[in-house]
A and B are shown apart, each in its own frame.
Chain A
Amino acid sequence: MPDLRTEEFVVNMGPHHPSTHGVCRLILTMDGEKVLKIVPVVGYLHRSLEKICENRTYPQCIPILDRFEYVTAMSCNYVFSLAAERLAEIEVPERAEYLRVIMLELNRIASHLIFYGVTAMDIGALTPFLYGLREREMIMDLFEMTCGQRLTFNYIRIGGVAKDIPAEFIPYCRKTVSVIREKLNDYEGLLNENPIWLVRNKNIGVLPPDVGIAYGVSGPSLRASGVDYDLRRDDPYSIYDRFDWKVATRSNGDCYDRYLVRLDEIKQSVRIIEQALDGLPEGPVKAKVSPNFKPPEGETYARVENSRGELGVYIQSDGTKKPYRVKTRGGSFNQLQVLPVIGTGGLIADLVAIFASLDIILPEVDR
């Protein structure tokens, strides 16, 4: 029998592929099922948000940046407002700070619920997706009754928040939070101990902490590797220091730990929200900010802990109504960078699991 001739072949995974979470293209060199080389190609969702922002006034930038990371648009609202407030040195009212924290944490839960569903779906379990979105829907209802939109909020503005919460918000929010806490049992029961889930995720795509730091990975993906680093605590912004919560970390850095860290973060966010609801003061929700917001000349960088890592905005102001330069930083970009490092050598099914567990979304990569 003659020697079997085998050769590597190249597969284009994406831009249209069910598990690339958008329009990411990965050029895979494969040997059968084994992935030998991964080359991510980005830019299919590029909307030139940064350049658009240069042509908009500061308040107008916020709805534009809603589209930057639309799964957690509140963070985008917030980080831009934070940068602008730092430039103009605006004091934000107490109640607005509380509302911001509630909204940010609700949005973090919503994002992690999407992660839960999508990761499960990428690994083949279709039902958790619907369960995750079911609870997320309650959060979206909360957002809609507060600011009128479900996805692109434009709620957190420079100097505070756009509107005060309606009367029915607090009871519904408490209900939502308790429902999520209760449903977490279902989520964990479905996947956490499931032997198939364990073999698919444990020791898959191990991200060593030093590699993670070298590639600029941040957020839950880095905390799963044992790096205890959370901007909410380490670069304090807003009023997170007033609440009793813990930074969720795990030590192995595999897909399973990245999944668990996010479930833990949901629990911590629930705690923060409950404390914030208890301590919500009365008062105005927006500082006096001129409609023609003109920060003084200067530059600043604000960063917040998003559900996908460090979300940052750099603003350079030339003293006019429009920012001279806006630069955004999203966690997904760095996580996509690290994908070839930890995904090479595995099977294509592992690659899908790793991609899902890093929680990469493409609008944040391509801006």
Chain B
Amino acid sequence: MKKKFPVISLLTLTAIVILCLACSPMMTKDPLYMDLAHCNDAPGKEFLFGTDEMGRDIFSMIWYGGRISLTVGFLAALISTTLAVLVGSVSGCASARIDGVLMRLTELILSVPGLLLTVSLQAVFGRADVYSLSVVIGLTGWMGMAKVVRTEVVQLGNTDFVLAAKCLGGRFFHVLFRHLAPNLFPSVLFMAVMHVRNAIVAEAALSFMGLGLPVEVVSWGSMLSLAERALFSHAWWIIVIPGMFLTGTLLCLTNLGEYMRGSANKRHSNLG
């Protein structure tokens, strides 16, 4: 069964990305302007999605903040994917000793509580801004994928066609680029998309807990950091609207990623 191409997800995602990138004509208000006469206003004609407790217009903040969330997600995913592919493929190709050291190291970093790792790495970079946070999320998110890449490289290295290529005199780089890379590409692409997704979640969760971007830097996560106080003032729009955009983006990314992974289970079930 071939998977259907997720048209709706792609369109929605493209729309969100374009609207966020070209946000200036979209914004009806200045997202950073605090209109103190209109704090916690419900969605209405003037403020399409309402205002938060500092009187900022949520409709404008969504697009403006989306740009930052997406930037962090993309940058962090770029860093973590590059690291994961590097470590994973080196570990998969190298001698048993180097492989052992690299994998032990990976497991060790995995066993440090993620929160501590993030907080102390962030400390090295100083105050959190878009770029430092991306680097921190990127540097803390590569371990799982590196292990997967390593396993795949080892498995591919054991296949008959690689053996055949080597027997025919193929050099290391020939095997790498002609046989390993094309086979690795779909799963790496899938994981890269998932990393974008995870990085967006990580940014949102960190900013929400007050460990990431500060409230003044608008992103979907930092918008939600006002949520706990919004609970008490019954201002549901402060909680629901940024979260819906966040979840929608994540869902589109997941659908695209699943498609890229390619279709499994081609054989017919023996059970029926």
The finding on whether chains A and B are genuine partners in a shared complex, rather than unrelated, reads no
Question: Which residues of A come within 8 Å of B, CB atoms?
Answer: none
Question: Which residues of B come within 8 Å of A, CB atoms?
Answer: none
